[in-house]
Chain A
Amino acid sequence: MSALLEISNLSFGYEGSSSPVFEGLDLSVREGEFILVKGPSGAGKSTLLRLICRLNKPLAGTILFQGKDIAAIPPARLRSAVIYVQQTPQMIDASVSHNLLLPFSFASNASKKRPKMEELQAMLREFYLDGVTLEHSALKLSVGQKQRLAIMRALLQEPVLLLLDEPTSALDKESAAMVFAIMERLNFAEGRTLITVTHLDYTPETVHTRICTLSGRTLMCQS
């Protein structure tokens, strides 16, 4: 099976810095895989995800998505298929439903099916957001609730590849367990391709994952 994502010889460094964050990095991701990227803070885990969706520009190397160089794909079109969920969930000052439906107002998502309100309400329950209504102010939710809402918002766009940046970093144990359960379900039951960055010593119980460690400027993956 051909790779969904093929990263070759990727290097990244910040402007003005003499040493790169990482260099010569290779990674191949097949459809339906669940990749966990671990490593110490500052190793460039988040940067790797940001490079995959072109929120940052690499110093060198190529990233192919569905066989095409991402530099040749219009950025908005790439990001409507490869969705990145930030470490700190960001909501606009509006209701939960407005936040969930926000991406449908973007031209690149125009052909996607807009969910009905009943579907959104049912989905909130699946994401352990039972007490939250669609009219709720999104800014008033807890960080854990916002994190789950951010993942839900990304999934409504039917991403081909979902990138989750430290989705449990600011959460308590109970909220983190909920997010882990959602990730495992997405991969196991729905066959979604996921790349998740985490600093936690987390190993999923129900799904098979490939664990990659980003450390000392290189990425090492288990076979």
Chain B
Amino acid sequence: MPGIIEISVGQLLLALLFILVAQASSFIYQLGLNRDILIGTVRTFAQLFLMGYVLTWIFRSTTVWIVVGVFAVMVFSAVFIVKGRVKESQIPYIVPTFLTMLISYFATAIFVSGMIVDSTPWWEPRYFIPAGGMVIGNSMSALAIALERLFRDMRQGREIVEMRQALGADYREASQDIFRSAVKAGMIPSINAMMGVGLVFIPGMMSGQILAGADPLIAIRYQIVVMLMLVGSTAVTSVVVMLIVRRRCFGSGEEVLLTPR
């Protein structure tokens, strides 16, 4: 099998043409995304190169705490990205979101790395960190969508929630439609990805393994594990976070705390 074809700096810069097209679209149609595209591009270069160096160092690491520490930093960064997307100041949701993400993703990464892939030790960085990264990245988007939906619907549907409460519903019964809709909204992208994988798109991890010369049948097995892992961890994290945050939308007397903006 031929070795991997290297991408030179010049070829890498050529890929910036895609960004020019995106910038032109934003400019012509006044989408207001020019600044975000620029920052996103710079961050993509900086973060990935930094990640490359850090990964090289981590993969050589033989200390469990370094691996776990890197994992915690990844979760912490994900929470800040979620915070930036979900602009909610009335309900304190950051701490429960962070703790749920940390526990749930940690359990998932241990399960995948230590039990399914059966790496030794369980925290073997070459498996543990990429598995964790995929889980965090995927669930982070799901959580941002679900939280945004929960807060929006609680605000817009406050009168309906209160109608149910006024007729004897507890806060869970009064907001169950909103809860379901928020969890579903967060889950749909992961489920759609399962529907389209291998048919509509070839996942990045699998393509990467094949490009690096791995046997496609082994790459497929890894990819299946990843897809199932993403759906499971997204479901658990979304449900737990939504349960905690929904309770926080109500006061001690179960009164709705979110006021119209």
CB within 8 Å for A57 and B253 given contacts A86-B162, A86-B163, A102-B164: yes
CB within 8 Å for A106 and B173 given contacts A54-B255, A55-B166: yes
A103 touches B (CB below 8 Å):
yes
Contact B253 A79 (CB under 8 A): no
Q: A92–B256 Cα gap in the complex (Å)? A: 19
Distance of A198 from chain B, by nearest CB (Å)? 18
A-B residue pairs, 10 tightest by C-beta: A80-B168, A90-B163, A76-B170, A103-B167, A84-B166, A75-B254, A108-B168, A54-B253, A106-B169, A106-B168
Contact A76 B255 (CB under 8 A): no
A102-114 toward B: CB 8 Å interface, digit per residue (1/0)? 1101111100000
Contact A103 B255 (CB under 8 A): no
B138 touches A (CB below 8 Å):
no
A192 touches B (CB below 8 Å):
no
Q: A182–B254 Cα gap in the complex (Å)? A: 31
Q: A154–B164 Cα gap in the complex (Å)? A: 11
Contact of A157 among B162, B164, B168, B171 (CB under 8 A): B168
B213 touches A (CB below 8 Å):
no
Residues on B lying within 8 angstroms of A by beta carbon are 159-160, 162-171, 173, 251-256
CB within 8 Å for A109 and B168 given contacts A57-B253, A90-B159, A92-B160: yes
Contact B255 A55 (CB under 8 A): yes
- Closest chain A residue, CB of each to CB of B167: A103
A60-76 toward B: CB 8 Å interface, digit per residue (1/0)? 00000000000100111
CB within 8 Å for A157 and B167 given contacts A55-B162, A90-B159, A92-B160: yes
Q: Within 8 Å CB of A92, what residues of B?
A: 160
Q: Within 8 Å CB of B160, what residues of A?
A: 90, 92
Q: Within 8 Å CB of B159, what residues of A?
A: 86, 88, 90
A194 touches B (CB below 8 Å):
no
Distance of B219 from chain A, by nearest CB (Å)? 47
Q: A69–B6 Cα gap in the complex (Å)? A: 75
Contact B170 A54 (CB under 8 A): no
Of residues 179 through 210 on chain A, the ones whose CB sits less than 8 Å from some CB of chain B are none
Contact A153 B167 (CB under 8 A): yes
A sample of 27 cross-chain residue pairs with beta-carbon separation below 8 angstroms, ordered by A number, consists of: A53-B166, A54-B253, A55-B162, A55-B166, A57-B253, A57-B255, A75-B170, A75-B253, A75-B254, A76-B165, A77-B168, A79-B165, A79-B166, A80-B167, A83-B166, A83-B167, A85-B166, A102-B164, A103-B167, A103-B168, A106-B169, A107-B170, A107-B173, A108-B168, A108-B169, A153-B167, A154-B167
A56 touches B (CB below 8 Å):
yes
Q: A36–B240 Cα gap in the complex (Å)? A: 45
- Closest chain B residue, CB of each to CB of A49: B166
Q: A83–B162 Cα gap in the complex (Å)? A: 11
Contact of B169 among A57, A84, A103 (CB under 8 A): A103
